[in-house]
Amino acid sequence: MVDNRYATALVIGSVLSLLATVYLSVAMGTQHWYQYSSPPVRQGSNASELREQFINREFDEKSYSDSLFQLNGTLGLWWRCILVPGRSHWFKEPDPKMELQCVSFTLPQQFSPKYKYHGNDISEEDLLRTYLWRCQFLLPLVSLALVFLSGLVGVCACLCHSFTPTLVVGVLHLLAGLCTLGTVCCFLAGLDLLHQDSTPPEGVDGSLGWSLYLALIAFPLQMMTAALFLWAARSHRKNYTRMTAYRVA
Amino acid sequence: MPGFSGGGVGGGVGGPASAPPRPFRPSRYVPVSAATTFLVGSTTLFFCFTCPWLSEYFSSVIPIYNAVIFLFTLANFCMATFMDPGVFPRAEEDEDKEDDFRAPLYKTVEIKGIQVRMKWCSTCRFYRPPRCSHCSVCDNCVEDFDHHCPWVNNCIGRRNYRYFFLFLLSLTTHIMDVFGFGLVYVLHHRQQLDTPHAAVTMAVMCVAGLFFVPVAGLTGFHIVLVARGRTTNEQVTGKFRGGVNPFTNGCLRNISHVLCSSQAPRYMGRWRSPQSLEVQPPFLRPSFTEAQLEAKVLDNGIQNDRHSTRSKSSLDPMESQSADAEPPPPPKPELRYPGLPHADTEENSLLTEAPPTPSMFKYRPTYSSPGRNHTALTHPNKMIRGESLDSPSPSIFQSSRQPTYRSEPNSLDGATVVGGGVGVRRGGGERGEGPGGPGGTSGGVSGGMSGYSLTGRSYTSYPSSLVLSAGGSRSSSMRSAHTAHNPLATLQSEGTTDTSYKSLANQTPRNGSLSYDSLLTPSESPEFESVVSPSSPLQGYMSPFLSAQFAQQREGQLLQGSATFSSPHRAYLRAVSPPPPSSTGPPETQHLLYHNQDSFRSPRNLSSSSSSPGARSLDLFCPCPLLTHSPWLQMPYTIIGREHFTVCLCYFFKVEPLTSTSLFSLSSSLLCLPPHSSPPLPDGCPIRSTSRPVLANHTMSKPGGGVKKVTGVGGTTYEISV
């Protein structure tokens, strides 16, 4: 009976950990962390120019930010996308079909520094935004690595028929949860600073996406996993000590 | 991967935890995994994809409400899963091995007047309490066993049933909320169903709908069971289907019992309680031992008392034997003697027999060690011990013994007279204690400790015998008979005197004139022997007489009686010869009164008898004839009356010892005077009023007495001539 409850705790903890890992992976791979909604009036005037600028020109945060603001852009950790009408023919249709065009952040681009903007002049480097950006794309990787390590430790414990590593698994999941929470905090902080420097034009609204929510919900799942593993390890140790004493007596 | 590893870890860990390692069965953990996945997964997706729009479009309260319901559901789920359902610990194999074989399968117990069977559990080795059942999956007996739920992978028993019930209620509510709000979202986005939000929402609605039907059904079933106060196990097995359920207390009370009663205690994880039980015995045992010690002490005390009594009885001869060696110890046990006889009469009788022998032993040592000084000291002590009346008595005893034997045919009259005399002697003895005490002390100071101890012992023995003799008249008569036997033994112990007395005793039944003559002749021979013997033998010869006096009160009394009869006999014969025929026919009552009057007159008779033989005794015992003729004796005799005569005698004999002793003796003698003075007052009146009846009594006894006494007179005349 005693072992059955502890085994059940480990099973439930494992299930929750698996769910959290899936959610975090999906959130990290999608671009729906933050999304902008632009009025349709402006689309006609600068659509083609902004599109060419978003796709062809060199990497510049200022330029692609303007494109995102005016073309219903969505921003993620590794992707940025805009919503533009399809190729125009010789005659214009009244209701053009909108298509999504995405551009990924390359690894060097992830580590490129961020600058403060005053009008159109380039000013000094913004260290805070630079490090926040770097943390927000590295922490999810650390979290996933920790969870993977926990899995390895669990497999070894199972093979060795030892209950002690359960404590290690719990601690690792606790750290992973903290990393996940850190990711969400860094993203929100960085985005807020960006909007302070380059204010979106009037009529453009921004909102959080479902990817951010998935990442946010992964945090409590990992916390619950850590709690279950730690409880099972501690209780089993206590009970084992008592049973040993009982046998000795 | 983590799930599989977790399951493996659980299985592996399970082995060492319990004594019988079980193989890990993944199939047992599938339901709980599925339940967790669907519950947590669906809810989290609902929060991510549906709640943002709901909070923006309607209000932010909706996500908070759903979050609260979800947390409550999750908490109850965890409690139902990880709480001990109320497992009973198994009985140890060593304890119940025998009971297992001989125990019957069922045992009936009455609950609220209803018979409920308790089944023997062979695995756990005890009778299962009512509503308790053995779960084959968990392999344990669970209290108030409801069912084993695979979705929580745990038994539902008394301790965790409420959490399971609340889990069902909250889960049903949660499913309805999720499905409802999902439906609202879908209806508002009918034209945009291709978006990921709509897709996820519809998937969540499908899962919720699939689980709602069984969960709601199960919830309804348990609501009915709770209301009826039954368990699933009882419902499924139909245990109380035919009869009345003794465990139901009404609908509302059943519900409150399930939801609001206090948490049932846990039986498995309580290692501390046996430890505390182990700790208590050391504290409980001392208290019991103290009680036992108290009981033992009481028993020991009782036994000690008995031993002390035995030791006292056994030590008596030892003390007497060791008297010479260790004088100081004797006084302590002697003090205890007077207390014991008052407690028990049998002990008194034993003591009466015991005291005489030590007194004899005491006297013999003195005889064995006859120093001049000691002899001188002992002599006055003996005189002091004996009263002034008794001091001249040896000659009286010798002279009167012959008439006593002759007067034996008048045993009845003698007995009555002896009774009265006994009373008088008792008083005398008690008075004697006073002078004996100071005399003894003075002797001890002058002579030594041995003398003191001897004297002390002798005096302690006297009061005990006197007190014993103080019993009822009949008992006194019986005891007097015993005392009569004792003096015979003492007489037999001695050589020549023994033979002489034996001959006297043997010759008395003959009652012939020749016997009288033979009695006269042997009486003269011992007197000559006593006179001729040296001083030390005289003292030795004196000691048995003194002991005989104290032991033979009866004989002494008889002697005095005979003396009194002899002296008034002569006077009354001459004066009152004519009246006897008139008083020959008095009634019995008058006889009793006359006897009483005689008893009243006895002290005066004694005094008168002492006066007449006093001179004779002086002649016999005084070593110096000059003193007898000295003016001292003549002058006080003439000046002072009968009462004062005793004082003169004491003064005369005590001139020899020191002045201090004489002073003490004079004071003691003065103290003795009052009892002498008191008797004459009441006797004066009866004498004057009843002079004639007394004379009549004497006349009645005169003829036989006259004949004998005539011969006695002849005997006395012979003594005078000698």
Q: Each residue of A194-238: pLDDT tens digit?
A: 887 777 776 877 888 999 999 988 999 999 999 999 988 877 766
Beta bridge partners of A207: A35
Residue A24 pLDDT > 80: yes
Q: Is B251 helix (H, G, I), strand (E, B) or coil?
A: helix
Q: How far apart are CA A138 and CA B595, in angstroms?
A: 145
**Closest chain A residue by Cα to residue B52:** A210
Q: Is B212 helix (H, G, I), strand (E, B) or coil?
A: helix
Q: How far apart are CA B559 and CA B393, in angstroms?
A: 10
| Dihedral angle computed from the Cα positions of residues B91, B93, B96 and B102, in that order, rounded to the nearest 10 degrees | 120
Regions of chain B where pLDDT drops below 70: 1-25, 92-102, 241, 268-722
Quote the crossing angle between the two packed helices B680-689 and B588-621, to the nearest 10°. 120
Contact B595, B640 (CB under 8 A): no
Q: How far apart are CA B153 and CA B160, in angstroms?
A: 13
Q: Which of B4, B5, B155 to mutate to test the interface with A (most CBs of A within 10 A)?
A: B5
Contact A13, B6 (CB under 8 A): yes
- Mean pLDDT across A51-61: 63
- Mean pLDDT across A82-93: 61
Contact A18, A52 (CB under 8 A): no
Higher-pLDDT residue of A37 and A63 is A37
Q: Determine whether B312 is exposed, middle or buried from the number of CB atoms within 10 Å of its CB (0-12, 13-18, 19+).
A: middle
Q: How far apart are CA A130 and CA A140, in angstroms?
A: 17
Q: Which residues contact B198 (CB under 8 A, 6 or more apart)?
A: B185, B186, B189, B192
Contacting residues of A for B153, CB less than 8 Å apart: 4, 8, 11
Q: How far apart are CA B553 and CA B468, in angstroms?
A: 13
Nearest CB to A19 within list B16, B18, B40: B40
Assess whether B149 carries a catalytic annotation: yes
Partner-chain contact B44 A217, CB within 8 Å: yes
Q: How far apart are CA B84 and CA B266, in angstroms?
A: 7
Nearest to A103 by CA among A153, A67, A132, A136: A67
Give just the sign of the alpha carbon dihedral A8, A13, A14, A15: positive
Contact B151, B118 (CB under 8 A): no
Q: Is A234's Cβ below 8 Å from some Cβ in B?
A: no
**Closest chain A residue by Cα to residue B155:** A1
Nearest CB to A10 within list B10, B40, B154: B10
Distance from CA of B177 to the nearest CA of A (A): 19
Contact B477, B411 (CB under 8 A): no
Contacting residues of B for A166, CB less than 8 Å apart: 9, 13
Distance from CA of B57 to the nearest CA of A (A): 14
Partner-chain contact B47 A217, CB within 8 Å: yes
Distance from CA of B32 to the nearest CA of A (A): 7
Contacting residues of B for A154, CB less than 8 Å apart: 2, 5-6, 8-9
Give just the sign of the alpha carbon dihedral A201, A207, A212, A216: positive
Contacting residues of B for A7, CB less than 8 Å apart: 7, 9-11, 13-14, 24, 29
Q: What's the pLDDT score for residue B684?
A: 37
Contacting residues of A for B268, CB less than 8 Å apart: 1-2
Distance from CA of A64 to the nearest CA of B (A): 25
Q: Is A110 helix (H, G, I), strand (E, B) or coil?
A: helix
Partner-chain contact A12 B196, CB within 8 Å: no
Q: Is A248's Cβ below 8 Å from some Cβ in B?
A: no
Nearest CB to B48 within list A5, A217, A239: A217
What phi and psi, each to the nearest 5 degrees, are found at residue B155? -75, 145
Distance from CA of A83 to the nearest CA of B (A): 15
Q: What's the pLDDT score for residue B117?
A: 75
Partner-chain contact A14 B11, CB within 8 Å: no
Q: What's the pLDDT score for residue B1?
A: 30
Q: Is B291 helix (H, G, I), strand (E, B) or coil?
A: helix
Q: Which residue has the tokens 């002896």?
A: B418
Distance from CA of B31 to the nearest CA of A (A): 11
Catalytic entry in B121, B124, B149, B155: B149
Partner-chain contact B40 A221, CB within 8 Å: yes
CA triple B510-B514-B519, angle to 5 deg:
80
Q: Each residue of A169-192: pLDDT tens digit?
A: 999 999 999 999 999 999 999 988
Cα–chain-centroid distance for residue B459? 34
Contacting residues of B for A17, CB less than 8 Å apart: 2-3, 6
Partner-chain contact A154 B29, CB within 8 Å: no
Q: Determine whether B696 is exposed, middle or buried from the number of CB atoms within 10 Å of its CB (0-12, 13-18, 19+).
A: buried
- How far, in Å, are B26, B324, B332, B453, B458 from residue B328 at the CA level? 100, 10, 8, 8, 15
Q: How far apart are CA B126 and CA B88, in angstroms?
A: 10
Q: Which fold has domain A4-248?
A: Butyryl-CoA Dehydrogenase, subunit A; domain 3 (1.20.140)
Q: Is A98's Cβ below 8 Å from some Cβ in B?
A: no
DSSP label of B581: G
Distance from CA of A58 to the nearest CA of B (A): 32
Q: Percentages helix, strand, coil for chain B, rounded to the nearest 5?
A: 75, 5, 20
Strands A98-104 and A115-118, by their bridges, are unpaired
Q: Where would I find the H helices in B411-552?
A: 411-447, 449-469, 473-493, 496-507, 513-532, 535-551
What phi and psi, each to the nearest 5 degrees, are found at residue B549? -60, -50
Nearest CB to B8 within list A13, A158, A208: A158
Q: Which residues contact B28 (CB under 8 A, 6 or more apart)?
A: B137, B150, B153
Q: Which residues contact B217 (CB under 8 A, 6 or more apart)?
A: none
Distance from CA of A194 to the nearest CA of B (A): 23
Partner-chain contact B13 A162, CB within 8 Å: yes
Partner-chain contact A3 B37, CB within 8 Å: no
Nearest CB to B10 within list A7, A162, A165: A7
Nearest CB to B3 within list A2, A11, A161: A11
Nearest CB to B33 within list A11, A160, A217: A11
Partner-chain contact B15 A161, CB within 8 Å: yes
Q: What's the pLDDT score for residue B174?
A: 92
Strands A79-85 and B106-111, by their bridges, are unpaired
CA-based max dimension of chain B: 179
What phi and psi, each to the nearest 5 degrees, are found at residue B230? -125, 165
Q: Is A135's Cβ below 8 Å from some Cβ in B?
A: no
**Closest chain B residue by Cα to residue A229:** B6
Task: Give me the residue spans of the domains in chain B.
Answer: 27-88+143-260
Residue type, A186: C
Q: Which of B4, B13, B90, B272 to mutate to test the interface with A (most CBs of A within 10 A)?
A: B13
Tokens in use for A67?
A: 């494109």
Distance from CA of A174 to the nearest CA of B (A): 15
Partner-chain contact B153 A11, CB within 8 Å: yes
Task: Give me the residue spans of the domains in chain A.
Answer: 4-248
Q: Which residues of B93-106 are buried (b: 16+ CB within 10 A; e: fewer)?
A: eeeeeeeeeeeeee
Alpha carbon distance, N-terminus to C-terminus of chain A: 22
Partner-chain contact A240 B4, CB within 8 Å: no
Partner-chain contact B12 A158, CB within 8 Å: yes
Contacting residues of B for A10, CB less than 8 Å apart: 6-7, 9-10, 13
Quote the crossing angle between the two packed helices A127-160 and A165-197, to the nearest 10°. 160
Q: What's the pLDDT score for residue B518?
A: 44
Give just the sign of the alpha carbon dihedral B578, B582, B585, B588: negative
Distance from CA of A187 to the nearest CA of B (A): 17
Contact B444, B421 (CB under 8 A): no
Q: Is B137 helix (H, G, I), strand (E, B) or coil?
A: coil
Q: What's the pLDDT score for residue B98?
A: 54
Q: Percentages helix, strand, coil for chain A, rounded to the nearest 5?
A: 65, 15, 20
CA triple A66-A72-A73, angle to 5 deg:
65
Q: How far apart are CA B703 and CA B386, in angstroms?
A: 36
Q: Is A177's Cβ below 8 Å from some Cβ in B?
A: no
Nearest CB to B17 within list A8, A157, A240: A240
Residue type, B636: P
Nearest CB to B14 within list A7, A18, A208: A7
Q: How far apart are CA B367 and CA B374, in angstroms?
A: 10
Partner-chain contact B12 A2, CB within 8 Å: no
Contacting residues of B for A165, CB less than 8 Å apart: 9
Q: How far apart are CA B48 and CA A213, in angstroms?
A: 5
Cβ contacts from A onto B, under 8 A? 160
Q: How far apart are CA B215 and CA B213, in angstroms?
A: 6
- How far, in Å, are A94, B467, B551 from residue B470 at the CA level? 157, 5, 14
Contacting residues of A for B17, CB less than 8 Å apart: 2-3, 6, 163, 236, 239-240, 243
